[in-house]
């Protein structure tokens, strides 16, 4: 897809690299537009930067689940030390994830075609950027969940109330992030899956759907850490949805 521009960028950087003394000097390339070139960042002479790695390289890579649990646990502890209330704590957890997880939406599904182009859709790789709410939610419920947690989410529901047509719910019976976290009794309202809510929010944002996502405990006898992610789409999204429906966009 983006191969030609990427490639030329790489070429021009490596040319620039050889014409300068390598090592500690700052690489400064005149007349350039790519972020790698305009920045004053130093890069290694063997070109191990994010611009040179294949986007899909780590797509199927795996790491130890324990490592994730340790990191996540540390993150929760850190957040806990710095806040006073539970709500604040949950907020703290989803804010950072939102910022990084907008990165996720750009790496997880392949780069989308230009948004809402009226021209016939280019016959390219099937997973395009979703335009409608439902296809977005299916993307989250299925592929995203499988990518992150190796299985699809357990349920996807639409609010039955006529007053809140903008509310959707994604249910996970046993969120991975809660597996290794034990919440003290006095904080039983806390759900560490707020982190995942942040991820969902980031993905929605990254796809151009303004939304607020929150995580709620809904334990059942069989699934004590069952969590419902409530997705509330913004006004603008709902309006656009109506327009797209009239236009017959899927």
Partner 1 sequence: MSTQKASRIGEEIWKTRIDKVNAELVTLTYGTIVAQLCQDYDSNYQEVNKQLDKMGYNIGMRLIEDFLAKSGVGRCANFRETADMIAKVGFKIFLNVAPTVTNWTSDNNQFSLIFDDNPLADFVELPDDGRAQDELWFSNILCGVLRGALEMVQMQIEAHFVSDVLRGDDTTEMRVSLVRYIEDEMPPEDD
Q: Does 8 interact with partner 1 (rule: CB under 8 A)?
A: no
C-beta of 54 vs 246, nearer to partner 1:
54
Residue number with CB closer to partner 1 (44 or 85): 44
Closest CA relative to residue 36, chosen from 60, 12, 59: 12
Nearer to partner 1 among residue 15 and residue 150 (C-beta): 150
Residue whose structure tokens are 């989410």: 153
Q: Cβ 180 to partner 1, closest distance in Å?
A: 11
Token duo for residue 59 = 């797509």
| x-marked contacts with partner 1 along 170-199 as a string, rule CB under 8 A | ------x-----------------------
Interface segment toward partner 1; rule CB under 8 A; list 9-17, 59-67, 132-140, 213-221 = 59-67
**Neighbour count for residue 64 (Cβ, 10 Å):** 8
Q: Which of 44, 85, 122, 127 binds partner 1 (CB under 8 A)?
A: 44
Asked whether position 160 contacts partner 1 by CB under 8 A, the answer is no
Torsion of CA 144, 150, 151, 157, to 10 degrees: -30
Q: Say whether 213 sits in a helix, a strand or coil.
A: strand
Residue 211 dihedral angles phi and psi, to the nearest 5°: -155, 155
Is residue 13 a contact partner of residue 37, using CB atoms and an 8 Å limit? yes
- Give the 3-state secondary structure of residue 132: coil
> Vertex 54, ends 22 and 138: CA angle to 5°?
145
Check if the beta carbon of residue 191 is closer than 8 Å to that of residue 171.
no
Hey, which residues between 129 and 148 contact partner 1 (CB under 8 A)? 147-148
Tally the C-alpha atoms within 13 A of residue 148's C-alpha that lie toward its C-beta.
23
Nearer to partner 1, 65 or 124 (CB): 65
Among 7, 82, 151, 250, binds partner 1 (CB under 8 A): 82
The reply to whether 46 sits near partner 1 by the rule CB under 8 A is yes
Does the footprint of partner 1 cover residue 77 (CB under 8 A)?
A: yes
Contacts to partner 1 by CB under 8 A: 24, 39-46, 48-50, 53, 57-59, 61-68, 70-75, 77-78, 82, 96-97, 99-101, 103-104, 107-108, 147-150, 176
């Amino acid at each position: 897809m983006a191969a030609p521009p990427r490639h030329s960028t790489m070429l021009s950087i490596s040319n620039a690299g050889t014409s300068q003394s390598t090592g500690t000097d700052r690489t400064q390339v005149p007349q350039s537009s790519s972020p790698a070139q305009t920045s004053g960042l130093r890069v290694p002479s063997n070109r191990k930067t994010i611009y040179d790695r294949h986007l899909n390289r780590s797509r199927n890579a795996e790491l130890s689940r324990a490592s994730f649990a340790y990191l996540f646990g540390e993150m929760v502890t850190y957040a806990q030390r710095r806040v006073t209330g539970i709500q604040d704590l949950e907020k703290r957890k989803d804010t950072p994830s939102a910022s990084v997880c907008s990165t996720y939406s750009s790496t997880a599904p392949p780069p989308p075609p230009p948004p809402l182009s009226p021209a016939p859709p280019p016959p390219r790789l099937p997973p395009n950027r979703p335009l409608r709410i439902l296809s977005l939610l299916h993307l989250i419920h299925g592929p995203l969940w499988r990518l992150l947690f190796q299985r699809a989410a357990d349920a996807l529901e639409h609010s039955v109330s006529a007053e809140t047509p903008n509310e959707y719910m994604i249910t996970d019976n046993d969120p991975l992030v809660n597996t290794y976290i034990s919440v003290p009794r006095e904080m039983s309202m806390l759900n560490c899956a707020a982190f995942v809510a942040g991820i969902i929010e980031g993905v929605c944002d990254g796809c151009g759907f303004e939304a607020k996502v929150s995580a709620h405990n809904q334990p059942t006898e069989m699934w004590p850490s069952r969590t419902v992610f409530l997705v509330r789409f913004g006004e603008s999204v709902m309006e656009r949805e109506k327009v797209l429906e009239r236009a017959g966009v899927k």
